[in-house]
Amino acid sequence: MKNRVNRGGILAPGAGMIKQGEKGKGLKSRWYPETLKRRILQIAEIRDRITFIPGDGLEIITQNIHRHNVVFFIDPPYTAAGKKAGHRLYQYAQLNHEKLFQLASQMAGEFLMTYDESQAVKAWANLHRFDWQTVAMKNTHHAKMTELLVGRNLDWLSDRF
């Protein structure tokens, strides 16, 4: 709920709540009842297959690295290559990105990572022979930007973008 009512979905200490929102709509600019209802019902259908684990992501990956029946969705704080946004936006922003890529290369199961677009991230992906693909997105200021999706095989993505 908090990411729906905080400006830009930011959960870090000191993050403010939405005041005006998009086009002066306030909370309604981030609160789409029918869309949220549909998404919650879709999640409910597969809830027995999803586990959210609070804690150190690198430790959780290490504990489950051998499991073929695990798929990791990894959305690290955007602090690679000196990016500062991740430090502002997240309470826990310190991350050894190179170690994350090394662990991903050892996973028995599949993974999908999202990352800020940077040469460092592309280099780590290339080093481990991962696929990467840029995708369009908008930030909280509606500026058009690109992010990276990183995985072992992103062939499925070419049909969508």
Q: How far is Cα 58 from Cα 69, in angstroms, rounded to an integer?
A: 18
pLDDT of 6 strictly over 60: no
Which pLDDT score, from 0 to 100, does residue 19 have?
60
Nearest Cα residue to 78 out of 160, 16, 8: 8
Model pLDDT for residues 52-103, shown as the tens digit of each residue: 888 889 999 999 999 999 999 998 876 565 555 555 555 555 778 899 999 9
Which pLDDT score, from 0 to 100, does residue 116 have?
86
Model pLDDT for residues 89-123, shown as the tens digit of each residue: 555 557 788 999 999 999 999 999 998 888 999 99
φ, ψ (nearest 5 deg) of residue 118: -150, 155
Q: Where are the alpha helices (H) located in 107-152, listed in sequence order? A: 119-127
Letter string b/e over residues 67-91, b meaning 16 or more CB atoms within 10 A of that residue's CB: eeebebebebbbbbbebeebeebbe
What structural domains does the chain harbor?
1-50 (no CATH), 51-161 (3.40.50.150)
Q: Whole-model pTM?
A: 0.71
Question: What mean pLDDT value characterizes the chain?
Answer: 80
Q: How far is Cα 109 from Cα 104, in angstroms, rounded to an integer?
A: 9
Answer for the pair 2, 16: CB distance below 8 angstroms, yes or no: no
What's the whole-number mean pLDDT along residues 19-39?
69
pLDDT of 18 strictly over 70: no
Answer for the pair 90, 78: CB distance below 8 angstroms, yes or no: no
